[in-house]
Amino acid sequence: MLSEFLDGELSAADCRWLKRHLRGCQPCLAYLKTLETTAGACRKLGETGTAPPELVRRILRLLQDQKFQGSNGATPPGRARRFRRVSGKNRC
């Protein structure tokens, strides 16, 4: 319930009930705050992180190869499955 409260997904009635409860319940309130900090830290974690430049270059090269091998750049999702594990590191 606390988790859904954080996400604003409780029904109006449950939300009112929980807010009333939180006013009188220190342990729940403290727990909610730490849960909120945890979810917030996860969100911050997602804001960082870019692809290694070498990986992007390698993918661009492989996409070029794919084109030359006859794909016209419009492979339907079903057919795309034939691209099995390509071990990138061995290719460079």
Partner 1 sequence: MNQRIFQAVEQLKAGDAGSFRKALESLTGTAFAFAKKVCGNADDAEDIAQETMLQLVPSVHKFSDARRLGVWLYKVAKTRCLMSRRMGKFAPARILRLDDRMPSPADAARLAKNRWPVSPEEVVLRAELREQLERAILKLPERYRLVVVLRDIEQLDVRETAAALGISPAAVKMRLHRGRMFLRNELDEYLHSLSSKDGRRG
Please, which residue, 6 or 62, has the CB nearer to Zn ion?
A: 6
Can you read off the two tokens belonging to residue 58? 């390698």
By CB under 5 A, residue 29 contacts Zn ion: no
Give the position of tokens 């099995």.
84
Compute the distance between CA of residue 51 and CA of residue 33 in angstroms, rounded to an integer.
Answer: 33
Q: In this chain, which of 1, 2, 15, 28 binds Zn ion, going by CB under 5 A?
A: 28
Q: In this chain, which of 11, 12, 13, 48 binds partner 1, going by CB under 8 A?
A: 48
By CB under 5 A, residue 25 contacts Zn ion: yes
Contact by Cβ (8 Å): 39, 33: no
Compute the distance between CA of residue 38 and CA of residue 6 in angstroms, rounded to an integer.
Answer: 11
Can you read off the two tokens belonging to residue 28? 């729940």
**Interaction site with partner 1 (CB under 8 A):** 2-4, 7, 9, 26-28, 30-31, 33-35, 37-46, 48-52, 55-56, 58-60, 62-63, 66, 71, 73-77, 80-81, 83, 85-89
